[in-house]
């Protein structure tokens, strides 16, 4: 039974796995939802998120909060951690970062609903919050 639960997970339990150089090199892994018959929320908080400004190349700091209702698959947290950390070497506007994370989760896990919120520290005296949502077709949330 235990073997089936971790089938297909290659990152969990691995030691010395380096942070991928870009989000494209940091695939999200998933496992089967043990309760696909019910709605429940899962929330991930990444309070030390870093990416690079696409204009200056300077680091941008913020936090990412991901809240989703899984369908058949749940996101494995270590692969998510590496995916999020891969942005520290990636030049992107905040709006692009949040939408890239949203799209990666939808592609990997096909959740019933999803909200990705980025709250970025001030740059030039202005802080930025970006929220990208997703609701699976046929779901009403």
Mean pLDDT of 106-129: 96
Domain contains 119: yes
Mean pLDDT of 104-125: 96
Q: Is residue 92 part of a domain?
A: yes
Could you tell me if residue 103 is inside a domain? yes
Helix axes 77-85, 94-109, angle to 10 degrees: 150
Residues 26-31 have a mean pLDDT of: 94
Give me the domain span that covers residue 107: 33-135
Structural domain contains residue 2: no
CATH number of the domain within which 65 lies = 3.30.1130.10
Q: Give which of 54, 51, 78, 74 is closest to 64, Cα–Cα.
A: 51
pLDDT above 60: residue 27: yes
Q: Is residue 27 part of a domain?
A: no
* pTM listed for this prediction: 0.87
Structure tokens at 20: 């991928």
Cα distance between residue 69 and residue 93, in whole Å: 27
Establish if 20 belongs to a structural domain.
Answer: no
Q: What amino acid positions are annotated as catalytic residues?
A: 53, 60
Q: Does the structure show a pLDDT above 80 at 139?
A: no
Over residues 56-64, the mean pLDDT reads 94
Band the pLDDT of 1: cuts 50, 70, 90: very low
Per-residue model confidence as pLDDT tens digits over 65-79: 999 999 999 999 999
The mean pLDDT value of the chain amounts to: 89
Q: Is residue 64 very low, low, confident or very high in pLDDT (cuts 50, 70, 90)?
A: very high
Residue 9: the pLDDT is 58
Q: How many domains does the chain have?
A: 1
């Amino acid at each position: 039974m235990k073997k089936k639960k971790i089938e297909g997970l290659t990152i969990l339990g691995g030691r010395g796995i380096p942070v991928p150089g870009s989000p494209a090199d940091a695939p999200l892994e998933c496992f089967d939802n043990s309760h696909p018959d019910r709605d429940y929320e899962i929330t991930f908080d990444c309070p030390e998120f870093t990416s690079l400004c696409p204009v200056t190349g300077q680091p941008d700091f913020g936090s990412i909060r991901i809240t989703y209702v899984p369908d058949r698959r749940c996101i494995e947290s270590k692969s998510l951690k590496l995916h999020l950390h891969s942005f520290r070497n990636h030049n992107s506007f905040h709006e692009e970062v949040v939408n890239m994370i949203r799209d990666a989760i939808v592609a990997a896990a096909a959740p019933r609903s999803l909200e990705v919120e980025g709250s970025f520290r001030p740059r030039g005296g202005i802080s930025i919050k970006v929220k990208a949502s997703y609701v699976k077709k046929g779901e009403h949330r």
